[in-house]
Structure 1
Amino acid sequence: MRFLFICASLSFLTGCYQTESTITDSLLYCADKAPTSFNPQVSHDTASLDATTHQLYNNLIRIDPVSRRFVADIAKGWQSNQDKTEYTFYLNEQVTFHQTDYFQASRHLNADDVIFSLKRLLSTENPFHDINSESENYFFNHPLTNIIKDIIKIDDHTVRIILTKSDATLLANLAAHYSVILSLEYADELLQAGHPEKIDFFPIGTGPYQFKNYQNNIIRFQKHKNPWQSPAHIDNLIFDITANSTKRYAKLLSGECDVIANPAPSQVDQISQNPNVSLSIRPTGNVALIAFNSKSSPFNDVINRHALSNAIDLNTVIQAVFFNNAVSTDNLLPAHSWAFNPRTLKHQFSPEQSLKKLQENDFNFEQTLRILAPIKKSIYNPNFYKTAELIQANWANIGVKSEIVLLRQTELDSALASGDYDIFLTGKSPNINDPDNIFRPLLSCKVNQIEGNTSRWCDPDTQALLDSTLVKSSFIQRVKNYYQLQELVQSQRIYLPIAHLLRFDVYNKNITNIQVDTLTGISLHQVNKVAPLKMLELK
Structure 2
Amino acid sequence: MKKLIFLLLSFIFMACGNETKEESKSVGDTKKVVTVAQATKPKTLDPPLANQVDSMRVARQIFNTLLAVDDNGELIPEVAEKWEFENPKSILFTIRKGIKFHNGAELTVEDVAFSVERMREKAGTRILLEKISGVEIVDDSHVRILLSSEFSPVLYNLTLSLCGIINKEDTLKRGESEIAVKPNGTGPFKLTYWNSGDILKFEPFEESFMGKPNIDELVFKVIPEGNNRLIALETGEVDIAYNLNPSDAKFVEENKDLVLVNKPSMRTEYLGFNLEKEPLNQKEFRQAVNIVLDRKGVLAAVYDNAGEPATSMVSPNMIGGKPTGDITLKPEKAKEIIANLKNIPSKMRIMTDATPTNIQTAQIIQANLKELGIDLAIESVEWGTYLEKSALGEHELILGGWFPGTNDSDIVLYPLYHTNARGAAGNRSFYSNPEYDKLAEQGRMETDIEKRAEIYREAQAILEEDLPIIPILRKNELIGMRKNISGFIFRPNGHHVLTKIEKN
Question: Equivalent of 1:386, from 363, 387, 395?
Answer: 363
Using the alignment, how far apart are the partners of 2:364 and 2:424 within structure 1?
21
- The amino acid across from 1:259 in the alignment is I
2:261–2:480 CA contact under 8 A, matched in 1: yes
Which residue of structure 2 lines up, in the alignment, with residue 59 of structure 1?
65
Secondary structure of 1:525's match?
Answer: coil
Query: How far off its partner does 1:156 sit?
Result: 1.3
Query: How far off its partner does 1:449 sit?
Result: 5.2
Which residue of structure 1 lines up, in the alignment, with residue 7 of structure 2?
none
Using the alignment, how far apart are the partners of 2:99 and 2:186 within structure 1?
7
Which residue of structure 2 lines up, in the alignment, with residue 95 of structure 1?
99
Using the alignment, how far apart are the partners of 1:71 and 1:167 within structure 2?
19
Which residue of structure 2 lines up, in the alignment, with residue 117 of structure 1?
115
Which residue of structure 2 lines up, in the alignment, with residue 314 of structure 1?
295
Which residue of structure 2 lines up, in the alignment, with residue 181 of structure 1?
165
Which residue of structure 1 lines up, in the alignment, with residue 89 of structure 2?
85
- The amino acid across from 2:489 in the alignment is Q
- The amino acid across from 1:119 in the alignment is E
1:321–1:386 CA contact under 8 A, matched in 2: no
1:44 aligns with 2:39: no
Q: Aligned in 2, Cα 1:148/1:177: closer, same or farther, shift over 3 Å? A: same
Cα distance per residue 1:225-256 (max 9 Å; x no partner): 22322221223222333344444333333333
Using the alignment, how far apart are the partners of 1:183 and 1:460 within structure 2?
41
Using the alignment, how far apart are the partners of 2:234 and 2:81 within structure 1?
42
Using the alignment, how far apart are the partners of 1:164 and 1:379 within structure 2?
44
Q: Aligned in 2, Cα 1:293/1:203: closer, same or farther, shift over 3 Å? A: closer
- The amino acid across from 1:58 in the alignment is N
Using the alignment, how far apart are the partners of 1:113 and 1:430 within structure 2?
27
Q: Aligned in 2, Cα 1:294/1:208: closer, same or farther, shift over 3 Å? A: closer
Identity %: 20
Secondary structure of 1:523's match?
Answer: coil
Cα distance per residue 1:7-41 (max 9 Å; x no partner): xxx99574327855xx5733222333332333332
1:474 aligns with 2:448: yes
- The amino acid across from 2:114 in the alignment is F
Query: How far off its partner does 1:462 sit?
Result: 2.0
2:107–2:167 CA contact under 8 A, matched in 1: yes
What TM-score, normalized by structure 2, do the two folds share?
Answer: 0.84
2:352–2:358 CA contact under 8 A, matched in 1: no
Instruction: Name the stretch that deviates more: 436-445 or 383-392.
Output: 383-392
Using the alignment, how far apart are the partners of 2:468 and 2:317 within structure 1?
23
Which residue of structure 2 lines up, in the alignment, with residue 15 of structure 1?
24
Cα distance per residue 1:481-523 (max 9 Å; x no partner): 2222223322444432112243222111121221133436222
Using the alignment, how far apart are the partners of 1:229 and 1:348 within structure 2?
49
2:32–2:216 CA contact under 8 A, matched in 1: yes
- The amino acid across from 2:25 in the alignment is C
Q: Structure 2 regions of 5+ residues with no counterpart?
A: 1-18
Query: How far off its partner does 1:479 sit?
Result: 1.2
Aligned ranges for residues 120-199 of structure 1 at < 5 Å? 120-123=118-121, 138-139=123-124, 141-144=126-129, 146-190=130-174, 196-199=176-179
Cα distance per residue 1:262-307 (max 9 Å; x no partner): 2233311221232321111233333222345667776666555434
Instruction: Name the stretch that deviates more: 294-303 or 271-280.
Output: 294-303
Query: How far off its partner does 1:111 sit?
Result: 0.1
1:310–1:351 CA contact under 8 A, matched in 2: yes
CA RMSD in angstroms, aligned pairs only = 3.2
Cα distance per residue 1:349-392 (max 9 Å; x no partner): 02233334556xx345x741664432534699445752552233
Aligned ranges for residues 125-524 of structure 1 at < 5 Å? 138-139=123-124, 141-144=126-129, 146-190=130-174, 196-214=176-194, 217-292=198-273, 302-322=283-303, 327-342=308-323, 344-356=324-336, 362-364=340-342, 367-368=344-345, 371-374=348-351, 376-377=353-354, 381-382=358-359, 385-396=362-373, 401-402=374-375, 404=377, 406=379, 415=393, 421=396, 423-448=397-422, 451-519=425-493, 521-524=495-498
- The amino acid across from 1:117 in the alignment is S
- The amino acid across from 2:118 in the alignment is R
Using the alignment, how far apart are the partners of 1:242 and 1:18 within structure 2?
23
Query: How far off its partner does 1:116 sit?
Result: 1.5
Secondary structure of 2:327's match?
Answer: coil
Secondary structure of 1:34's match?
Answer: coil
1:525 aligns with 2:502: no
Q: Aligned in 2, Cα 1:19/1:485: closer, same or farther, shift over 3 Å? A: farther
- The amino acid across from 1:52 in the alignment is A
- The amino acid across from 2:177 in the alignment is E
Using the alignment, how far apart are the partners of 1:357 and 1:520 within structure 2?
39
1:117–1:181 CA contact under 8 A, matched in 2: yes
Using the alignment, how far apart are the partners of 2:107 and 2:42 within structure 1?
26
Using the alignment, how far apart are the partners of 1:504 and 1:81 within structure 2?
43
Secondary structure of 2:157's match?
Answer: helix
Query: How far off its partner does 1:163 sit?
Result: 0.8
Q: Aligned in 2, Cα 1:381/1:247: closer, same or farther, shift over 3 Å? A: closer
Using the alignment, how far apart are the partners of 2:96 and 2:466 within structure 1?
49
Q: Aligned in 2, Cα 1:236/1:353: closer, same or farther, shift over 3 Å? A: same
1:223–1:234 CA contact under 8 A, matched in 2: yes
Q: Aligned in 2, Cα 1:468/1:370: closer, same or farther, shift over 3 Å? A: farther
2:334–2:372 CA contact under 8 A, matched in 1: no
Using the alignment, how far apart are the partners of 1:483 and 1:257 within structure 2?
43
Using the alignment, how far apart are the partners of 1:413 and 1:28 within structure 2?
35
Using the alignment, how far apart are the partners of 2:170 and 2:423 within structure 1?
40
1:312–1:394 CA contact under 8 A, matched in 2: no
Using the alignment, how far apart are the partners of 1:19 and 1:45 within structure 2?
37
Query: How far off its partner does 1:88 sit?
Result: 0.6
Q: Aligned in 2, Cα 1:26/1:307: closer, same or farther, shift over 3 Å? A: closer
Cα distance per residue 1:407-427 (max 9 Å; x no partner): 8656655555xxx95x55444
